[in-house]
Amino acid sequence: MAPEQPAGIFEALPKGRDTVTDDAANVLQSFFTTFQPGVKPLLLLDYDGTLAPFRVDRLKARPYTGVRESIARILHQGRTRLVVITGRPAREISLLLRGNPPIIEQPVEVWGLHGAERIHADGRRELELAPSSTQRKLDELREYLRHNNLGGEFEDKPNAAVMHWRGASPRTAKFIEVRTRELFEPMSKMDGLMLLEFEGGLELRVGRDKGGAVDTLIAEAAPGTPVAYVGDDVTDEAAFRAVSSVGGPHLSILMRQDERETAADVWLRPPSGVRVFLKRWYKALQHEPRRRAAAA
Ligand SMILES: [Mg+2]
């Protein structure tokens, strides 16, 4: 189930109504029909741009209306293994996702730092570390950028230096990008370091990427477990490819306003697309026992 181009195209909708095109609905439905009684499908979700609109002040990026409620219902239903995979530190997502007062009460497993960090639902935390000589160089760069942000917005992560130019004028953005590449690209040749391109910025980092996170989660699941991944950014492409490479039922969804070349199976536009997908996921598992009863 991995066509060259997204199969579904989201059309303009009447106000206040959530729907997707027939093509997209068919792709979703054919995936949901693979759900079997007793098997917990794996639902892997990016956060920014997928569950929540992008905000320059990222601590204000709350989920789209209805998304928390849908996730809460899916968790309460108890038939899905739901995991969030984000570029941010995992703890930020745990707080933003829950709501205040909390709408989502059950703990959610979150992979942070694009897969280098993992916080299990029971609170255990794992963090990938770089070889010490590499980590020292990375720490020196982070220290430098804390005092000289090159005109962009520097994000300091334990496993990475990140420069953002999203929101800057095209001319300023180009200037920041050139200066960032001059610093990051030579260092990316060092053992354990790699560059991660994303929309409106560049990250120099150590550790797994989102594709590596997806590979790990799939390896931990029972063979043949259906798996879906939803994301918006170029960093999600590694996850789409990881999902497409599994032998069992799988679905990858590009969730963004504008179409682009992608490895995903289907393109949906937020916020309607994400609301429809989550509602149908829940319904597919609600109806599953009846299908079994009918077949028996
Ligand atoms: Mg995203």
Q: How far is the CA of 139 from the centre of ligand 1 (A)?
A: 26
Q: How far is the CA of 167 from the centre of ligand 1 (A)?
A: 16
Q: How far is the CA of 260 from the centre of ligand 1 (A)?
A: 14
Are 223 and 113 in the same domain? Answer: yes
Residue 259 within any structural domain of the chain: yes
Are 140 and 223 in the same domain? Answer: no
Res 11: pLDDT = 38
Please give the torsion angle defined by the CA atoms of residues 166, 169, 170 and 175, in that order, rounded to the nearest 10 degrees: -80
Q: How far is the CA of 85 from the centre of ligand 1 (A)?
A: 9
Are 50 and 168 in the same domain? Answer: no
Q: What integer is the mean pLDDT of 263-269?
A: 96
Q: How far is the CA of 152 from the centre of ligand 1 (A)?
A: 20
Q: What integer is the mean pLDDT of 23-29?
A: 94
Res 100: pLDDT = 86
Q: How far is the CA of 268 from the centre of ligand 1 (A)?
A: 14
Residue 162 within any structural domain of the chain: yes
Q: How far is the CA of 246 from the centre of ligand 1 (A)?
A: 22
Res 60: pLDDT = 92
Q: How far is the CA of 256 from the centre of ligand 1 (A)?
A: 9
Are 146 and 250 in the same domain? Answer: no
Q: Which domain holds residue 146?
A: 132-205
Are 232 and 278 in the same domain? Answer: yes
Q: How far is the CA of 289 from the centre of ligand 1 (A)?
A: 34
Res 249: pLDDT = 97
Q: How far is the CA of 257 from the centre of ligand 1 (A)?
A: 12
Q: How far is the CA of 238 from the centre of ligand 1 (A)?
A: 13
Q: How far is the CA of 46 from the centre of ligand 1 (A)?
A: 5
Total domains, the chain: 2
Are 151 and 198 in the same domain? Answer: yes
Q: What integer is the mean pLDDT of 101-112?
A: 93
Res 194: pLDDT = 92
pLDDT digits (tens, 9 = 90+) for 108-143: 999 999 999 999 999 999 998 788 999 999 999 999
16: pLDDT confidence band, cut at 50, 70 and 90? low
Q: How far is the CA of 53 from the centre of ligand 1 (A)?
A: 9
Res 14: pLDDT = 39
Q: How far is the CA of 37 from the centre of ligand 1 (A)?
A: 31
Residue 16 within any structural domain of the chain: no
Are 112 and 145 in the same domain? Answer: no
Q: How far is the CA of 294 from the centre of ligand 1 (A)?
A: 40
Residue 7 within any structural domain of the chain: no
Q: How far is the CA of 158 from the centre of ligand 1 (A)?
A: 20
Are 239 and 98 in the same domain? Answer: yes
Which of 150, 182, 205 is the last residue in one of the domains?
Answer: 205
Q: How far is the CA of 86 from the centre of ligand 1 (A)?
A: 7
Residue 1 within any structural domain of the chain: no
Res 5: pLDDT = 36
Res 56: pLDDT = 79
Q: How far is the CA of 116 from the centre of ligand 1 (A)?
A: 16
Q: How far is the CA of 38 from the centre of ligand 1 (A)?
A: 31
Are 48 and 169 in the same domain? Answer: no
Of the segments 123-132, 221-230, 284-293, which one has the largest average pLDDT value? 221-230
Rounded to whole angstroms, the Cα distance separating 66 from 51 reads 10
Q: How far is the CA of 224 from the centre of ligand 1 (A)?
A: 27
Res 9: pLDDT = 34
Which of 172, 205, 238 is the last residue in one of the domains?
Answer: 205
